[in-house]
Homo-oligomer: A and B are copies of this chain.
Amino acid sequence: MTTKYVYFFGKGESEGNAKMKAILGGKGANLADMAEAGVPVPPGFTITTEVCEYYSKNSGKYPENLTETVAEYVKRVEKTTGFEFGNPANPLLFSVRSGAAVSMPGMMDTVLNLGINDEVAKGIAEKTGNPRFAWDSYRRFIQMFGDVAMDVPHHAFEKALDSVKAKKVNELGKSIHDIKDTDLNANDLQDVVEAYKAVYRKYKGTDFPTDPMVQLWFAVAAVFRSWDNDRAVAYRELNDIKGLIGTAVNVQAMVFGNMGETSATGVGFTRNPSNGEKEFYGEFLVNAQGEDVVAGIRTPLPITDLDKVMPVAFKQLKDITDSLELRYRDIQDFEFTIQEGTLYMLQTRNGKRTVPAAVKIAVDMVEEGLISKEEAVLRINANDLTQLLLPIFESKAREHATILASGINASPGASVGMVVFNAEDAEKEAADGKDVILVRIETSPEDIRGMAVAKGILTARGGATSHAAVVARGMGKCCVAGAGNLMIDYDKNLMVVAGQTIKYGDIISLDGTSGHVLLGTVPTIKPELSGNFEKLMVWADEIRGEFKVRTNADTPHDAAVAISFGAEGIGLCRTEHMFFEEDRIDYVREMILANDVAGRRKPLAELKKMQKKDFLGILEAMKGLPVTIRLLDPPLHEFLPHTEEQIVELAYKINRNPVRIKERVEQLHEFNPMLGHRGVRLGITYPEIYEMQIEAILEAAAELVAKGVDARPEIMIPLVGDVSEFTPFEKMTRSIAESVMKKYGVKFHYLVGTMIEVPRAAMTADDIATHAEFFSFGTNDLTQMGAGFSRDDAGSFLKEYVLQGIYDKDPFQVLDQKGIGRLIQSAVQYGKSTRPNIKLGICGEHGGEPSSIEFCYKTGLNYVSCSPYRVPTARLAAAQAVIKNKK
């Protein structure tokens, strides 16, 4: 059987369907599906992504017989429409568009009006009685084809257009810059066509191709080539799109929104993609082609105004898009054209939306009975939830801020940063750690990398569906678009607005929610979470049930924040941060510098008082939720000063010989501190340190319980590699617990367990579990040791490793399930073999990363733990994991 490379769609006769995204692309599959469902879609055909792959792999060759097949399908479209490709008397024109399996808006090239030549143009003029339309379409085609398919520089066409306009200066009595395209009549446009042809000849050395079929093949090749252009590669990289074989090409009969005042074109959403409100949202332009709307060159009208201009078409559009939303059970992002009163749907797809909108839409759709709670939970990208927790402007400061300009609130949020005027500068300054606001007249796909690093985006032109707006929403980034009173001067690297000059590097604040541009730094605060968010979270929590989410918190404040975000315990409370605080570090140093146990016990006694206070605070804040406290982990040299000057200062402060201090610093130096004298190894050599900490924890718990406050400490021994490193501290804990309980006359629940972060611990987890009541996977160190990467040093090669695909993702950000995952699975299996009900969790930074959370669930962990601000993400991701693995 030979592969089918071309699929027809149109008038209820589609060969493809909605499920064939992989080979038809998203757009092609959707067109097929819409046509099948009776939606008025201009007919056409899709050349599959497999052809793109073949084309790439065979240096630009096509599969056998493709030429013949495409010719047949052109005939089929001719038959369906009644028009004929290249026939001046009754011409069929095509649009040629890319469309990959995953939407990549604006990333690849499109050619419209394909099929025109001099004769066809004349035929159109004759047939429509509208010569201006005919020549306008022709000159647009030459420009687009020349630019997109043949690499003729855009500005060369602009210059040719200006030369025609120049001739009209006297006639129109306008300066050349004030002459608009619409000021040109049919004859002028015919001149433009000739001028464009000359440009083409100049750059390509041949005449503009007049054979429509030749035009078509050039355009198809251009689309296939565009798959690997810089913009497209950058987009895929930024959006982490992998595993696609290429783009499909959609060749579709042209319809025209620019055939006069009964024609129009527009784009829209079935709901507001910015805030999620259930309202018809979008824009249109009368007498225009589609690209005019998206490019933001003319400012379009709100789609609801269409009702006034073309009420019949509006109603039809509303009905069709409503039904499409029902069909696809998600907000639709659609394009349409009205040609002389007749509505055509050019595209529909699930709409990109901001995170608040996504939450509202998901919750609304559940309440509308459109989707289930599970689907709603799956609809939200868990990672995005952190955006909802991002700061908003402090309202008083916001009130008093100077409003420089007002634009369209294209993507919500509050951002503050230095102004830059191009993408390169944005990248450069961001790399230096600066917060930047990218300010452009309008953005284009070339700006994508600069947009990705900017805190916010501000444009002078374009509306709610302009490139800047769409991309910013996709990135969850604050954007104000079309702030018309900005006078941007790229050459001078400044803008003038409201009488003020804002230079490169000046600070502004963007309010993406209101659309205001504010002068200087406006302070920000924590946002309140919406009721929809709460609803979604409640559903997520119901779904995930016993799969818990804890937080990593070292202070009562962090603990309180995490509780407000729904944390169900502390999975990692690091005690060493407490050691660094100003009032204690000298005691810590005194302890390290002591020569013997007695010398250490003195400062330890002081530290104990402070640590106990810390633990009282944290345990109290957690109100009876479990609190896993890790005993001292880092190597002691981290606490000592290292420069001569610091050493002398310390010596003076604690009245010691600086030479001795220096000796001790040198004695503690390690070649590979990561693999050195730290964690439980400190406990083994200096048991009095762990003893102090265990006492502080258990006494704090006892004191609270005596006051009637529930407290559930879980003591965690770090860096255990063998059960016999653990047992002395298990014993110590039990014995201290017994005496503390007796002393305070209370009973309380506590656990003693270990981190699993040394590969050897994973491999001997059966032994360890005979004594440890819980395991908490320290995936940061487990990754370092398991993969043999030092996080501090891996920069020299790890980035290249990810680029080369040796690792899919940075294994310090996304758990390496294949390698480190196997260590975890082994540990779980071994651990359960000797203690079937062992409590299992993760406290590495992977605990807040959705794919890692799903792995944890599948592997049988009881909880994940992450930083406070990741807790909502983790709650949602946990629920998603449960749903996905139920199926």
Contact = CB atoms under 8 A, between A and B. Distances in A.
A801 to B, nearest CB: 7
Contact of A788 (B670, B721, B793, B822): B721
A784 B721 contact: no
Interface residues of A, number: 49
Nearest to A821: B763
Contacts of A763: 786, 819-820, 822-823, 826
Interface stretch (A76-84, A206-214, A349-357, A671-679): A671-679
Nearest to A675: B790
Given A785-B788, A806-B724, A823 B759 contact: yes
A725 interface: yes
A412 to B, nearest CB: 40
Nearest to A789: B675
Contacts of A816: 760
A791 to B, nearest CB: 9
Interface in A647-680: 670-677
A722 interface: yes
A685 interface: yes
A101 B3 CA distance: 79
A398 to B, nearest CB: 44
Contact of A672 (B674, B724, B804): B674
A722 B788 contact: no
A818 interface: yes
A675 B784 contact: yes
Interface in A666-721: 670-677, 681, 684-685, 719, 721
Nearest to A757: B788
A59 interface: no
A800 interface: yes
A785 B787 CA distance: 8
A173 interface: no
**Most chain B CB within a 10 A radius of its CB, from A684, A722, A758, A763:** A763
A759 B801 CA distance: 18
A684 B804 contact: yes
A336 to B, nearest CB: 46
Given A764-B818, A764-B819, A820-B760, A801 B677 contact: no
A685 B797 CA distance: 7
A725 B672 contact: no
A681 B794 CA distance: 10
A675 B788 contact: yes
A796 interface: yes
Contact of A758 (B781, B787, B807, B826): B787
A433 interface: no
Contact of A675 (B675, B681, B725, B819): B675
B786 A760 contact: yes
A789 to B, nearest CB: 6
A24 to B, nearest CB: 31
A819 B721 contact: yes
A793 B675 contact: yes
B672 A675 contact: yes
Contacts of A676: 790, 793-794, 796
A205 interface: no
A684 B807 CA distance: 13
A169 to B, nearest CB: 53
Contacts of A797: 677, 681, 684-685
A788 B758 CA distance: 6
A805 interface: yes
A546 interface: no
Interface in A775-814: 781, 784-790, 792-794, 796-797, 800-801, 804-807
A676 B789 CA distance: 6
A864 to B, nearest CB: 21
B786 A759 contact: yes
A524 to B, nearest CB: 35
A6 B784 CA distance: 57
B807 A722 contact: yes
A627 B547 CA distance: 53
Nearest to A719: B788
Most B CB within 10 A of own CB, among A725, A785, A794, A820: A785
Contacts of A800: 684-685
Given A759-B823, A822-B763, A793 B684 contact: no
Contacts of A792: 670-672
A628 to B, nearest CB: 21
Nearest to A797: B681
The interface centre, meaning the residue of A676, A759, A823 with most chain B CB atoms within 10 A of its CB, is A759
A787 B724 CA distance: 14
A805 B818 CA distance: 34
Contacts of A796: 676-677, 685
A556 to B, nearest CB: 32
Residue with the highest number of chain B CB atoms closer than 10 Å, among A685, A757, A797? A797
A801 B671 contact: no
Contact of A806 (B670, B673, B684): B684
A671 B793 CA distance: 6
Interface string A147-185: 000000000000000000000000000000000000000
Contacts of A819: 721-722, 760, 763-764
8 contacts: A671-B672, A674-B674, A675-B793, A722-B806, A724-B806, A759-B787, A760-B823, A764-B822
Interface of A: 670-677, 681, 684-685, 719, 721-722, 724-725, 757-760, 763-764, 767, 781, 784-790, 792-794, 796-797, 800-801, 804-807, 816, 818-820, 822-823, 826
Given A759-B787, A781-B788, 17 more contacts: A672-B790, A674-B674, A675-B675, A675-B784, A675-B785, A677-B796, A685-B797, A719-B788, A721-B787, A722-B807, A722-B818, A724-B804, A724-B805, A724-B806, A758-B788, A760-B786, A767-B818
Closest 7 CB pairs of A and B: A672-B790, A675-B790, A760-B819, A759-B759, A763-B822, A676-B793, A671-B792
